[in-house]
Amino acid sequence: MQYLSGIDYVVILLYAGALVGLSLYLKRRASESIEDYFIGGRQLPWWALGVSGMASFLDVTGTMIITSFLFMLGPRGLFIEFRGGAVLVLVFMMLWAGKWHRRSKCLTGAEWMVFRFGDGAGGRFAQLMSVISGVVSTVGMLAYLIKGIGLFLSMFLPFSPFQCALLLVGVATVYTMISGFYGVVYTDMFQSAIILIAVIGVTIMAVAKVATVPDLGAFAAEITGNGQWMSSAPHWNTAMPKGYEVYRHLMLFAMFYLMRNVFFGVASGNDPKYFGARSDRECGQLTFMWTILMTVRWPMMMGFAVLGIFLVRDLFPDQGVIVECVRLLRDAYPAITEAQWGEFISSIANAPGKFSPELIAQIEDLLGADWSKKLLLISFHGTINPERILPAVLLYDIAKGLRGIFLVALIAASMSTFDSTVNMTTGLLTRDIYQKHLRPNAKTKELIYISWFFVALLVGIAFLFAYSVKSINDIWGWIIMGLGGGLMLPNFLRLYWWRFNGSGFAVGTLVGLTAAVLQRFFFPGLDERLQFLIIGVIGLAASILGAYISPPTDAGVLRRFYRATRPFGVWGPLRSSLNDEEERNMRTEHRRDILASPFALLWQVTMFLIPMQLVIGAWRAAAITAVFWVLGLLGLYFIWYRHMPKDNYFEDEIQV
């Protein structure tokens, strides 16, 4: 079995040492106050928050999933990732959702519930359910990261996926505990520079490979079985391998995921980066930069997909042996499930002595002398496992030393997502549960220590959950469509309907969350679209019922919220609190924000698509896409960006 070289290990150790050193350097600054620890004291510059945002959304597990779809579909894999990987929610956080949350001056999303619904029974119930839903979402997200990083690192290290995940997450947990939000932002900036190096390197290698074949489309079709691999259009039907057949109706999925992103995006914005921003303008600027920087991941992932096609051709000139090998293993161990497959084949490759010599000999007869590295690429369904393409390319196609740098870049991506997710949720537990209800007079040092306990607790639960899932695509689909569907409607209504109250949010969230968890345990194979629709309808019905079984939010609380936030939607009774000039200014802002959204979506999607088309040499398609990108950018600039004021919109006008 081939593993990393000594120089690769040196690169990784230097990286880990730099992270821990930076976190220790930032420890004192982060410990000055609880506000410093969780949102950087609202003193961090917008560009640093934008860079951190990019790093926090770029994780190795997501990169593996997207690479797998690009490997199977070519550039059209982008449309499957409308469900989450294309981060279309950024459009709405950039235009209005981010600044609406910043205007509250709150520290966490759960504390915002009290700002919205008041500090009575309804507001506190909503605050509690916000914390609980945040914890469940974080456990799901961490399980997704743990599953992915375990599969990824087990390709490089002589350990099981569980042991690899434990090693990496242990380091990330330590530096997240020590340095808080300062550590999140500054380590993200450091890690973004490493990621950029990997992007450039992988892109150059892929372009060089493409130049060696006269017809990349035909070559890719031979390996993947997809004759439309070079196309950038989301066809109604496309070929998909076993385990992914549900995605064959590509256009239908793209449209459905786009609709989901619109609803989810307009209900988002409670990220610590917005609570930590210094102005409305900076909310827009940091997200604009965040979105631009997210573009760099797409040529890198397309590059890995291209290199993966060449690698599979070299390793499996006859892919028929894959089916025979899987049949052999499943006959020998019929109790092995899809969820256990990754651990199972890693055990065979890393410790063949634990298995019968006859079985190992049969595997070698099928796969050849280098059977151990080929085995890790085989899926439970008797096909190439597309989720293993990225680590396989790193291990077998990248030179020593350079491989260590690329590996560190992808580890950095996971670290960044991990620290941001954990920091946000420990803020909820510490601020909105421990400090508010248990120890209101606790000193900063005590609050930081209890946050460390919460970090360890979240990570421990996530490890237990991670190894109940079949694949990273499986858990990602549930997080986005099942859990996301259950939580989306209560979050939407809190921003756009005046009659919605704390009871409505809490009941809707509790029922939606419960429905998502029950679906996961009892109907794990339910189609993602049905997950979203069924659980979403349940959450909506519970939200409306909960709102009407209790009285409306106190008029004074509502008036304060409305005058500070200035949301659009169904707010008729509150508009009388504004004078004519205030209402005119607010309507102008709303009109620009809404009109800019389709241009922003066009700009973002085409910006992600163009570099992938360039990597595979689809020059004509790239030129056409560039025309639409310019159109989207011009619309965004003239309708929205040039009208962004240097000062905050309404804060000087608020008279509550």
Residue type, 376: L
**Tokens found for residue 564:** 């500070």
Interacting residues of 560 by C-beta distance below 8 A, sequence separation 6+: 656
**Nearest Cα to 290, choosing from 98, 76, 35?**
98
Mean pLDDT within 470-493: 80
**Which of residues 41 and 476 earns the better pLDDT score?**
476
Can you give the pLDDT at residue 654? 45
| Percentage of the chain lying above the pLDDT 70 cut | 87
Q: How many beta carbons lie within 10 A of that of residue 623, not counting itself?
A: 11
Query: What residues does 497 pair with on adjacent strands?
Result: 570
Mean pLDDT within 262-266: 86
Residue type, 649: Y
Per-residue confidence at 1, pLDDT binned at 50, 70, 90?
very low
- Rounded to whole angstroms, the Cα distance separating 161 from 168 reads 11
Can you give the pLDDT at residue 97? 92
pLDDT tens sequence across 95-110: 999 999 999 888 778 8
Contact between 616 and 74 (Cβ < 8 Å): yes
The mean-pLDDT minimum among 194-198, 379-383, 409-413, 519-523 falls in 409-413
Mean pLDDT within 369-398: 84
Mean pLDDT within 289-317: 91
**Nearest Cα to 409, choosing from 597, 584, 152, 105?**
152
**Tokens found for residue 475:** 């858990």
Can you give the pLDDT at residue 615? 94
| Mean pLDDT for all residues in the chain | 82
SS3 (DSSP) at 332: helix
pLDDT tens sequence across 492-531: 999 999 999 999 999 999 999 999 989 988 887 788 788 8
Reduced 3-state DSSP string for 102-160: HCCCCCCHHHHHHHHHCCCHHHHHHHHHHHHHHHHHHHHHHHHHHHHHHHHHCCCCCCC
Name the range with the highest mean pLDDT among 365-379, 513-527, 584-598.
584-598
pLDDT tens sequence across 37-69: 444 556 677 777 777 777 677 777 778 889 999
Mean pLDDT within 174-194: 62
Write out the residue limits of the CATH 1.20.1730.10 domain(s) in the chain. 6-69+89-311+400-653
**Residue 572 DSSP code:** G
Does residue 181 register a pLDDT over 60?
A: no
402-427 helix and 46-56 helix, angle to the nearest 10 degrees: 110
Q: How many beta carbons lie within 10 A of that of residue 340, not counting itself?
A: 15
- For residue 194, how many C-alpha atoms fall within 13 Å in the half-sphere facing its CB? 29
Question: If you write DSSP's letter for every residue of 169-199 in order, what string do you get?
Answer: HHHHHHHHHHHHHHHHHHHHHHHHHHHHHHH
- In the structure, how many helices (H) and strands (E) does the chain have? 29, 0
**Nearest Cα to 140, choosing from 456, 428, 478, 375?**
478
The mean-pLDDT minimum among 103-107, 303-307, 459-463 falls in 459-463
Mean pLDDT within 207-211: 91
Can you give the pLDDT at residue 344? 86
Per-residue confidence at 145, pLDDT binned at 50, 70, 90?
confident
Does residue 233 register a pLDDT over 50?
A: yes
Residue type, 330: R
Q: Taking the domain 6-69+89-311+400-653, which CATH number applies?
A: 1.20.1730.10
402-427 helix and 60-73 helix, angle to the nearest 10 degrees: 120
Residues in the chain: 656
**Tokens found for residue 534:** 């069924």
Can you give the pLDDT at residue 76? 92
Per-residue confidence at 575, pLDDT binned at 50, 70, 90?
confident
Does residue 655 register a pLDDT over 60?
A: no
Query: What residues does 578 pair with on adjacent strands?
Result: none
pLDDT tens sequence across 83-139: 777 889 999 999 999 999 999 888 778 889 999 999 888 888 998 888 888 888 888
**Which of residues 606 and 267 earns the better pLDDT score?**
606
Residue type, 221: A
**Which of residues 488 and 142 earns the better pLDDT score?**
488
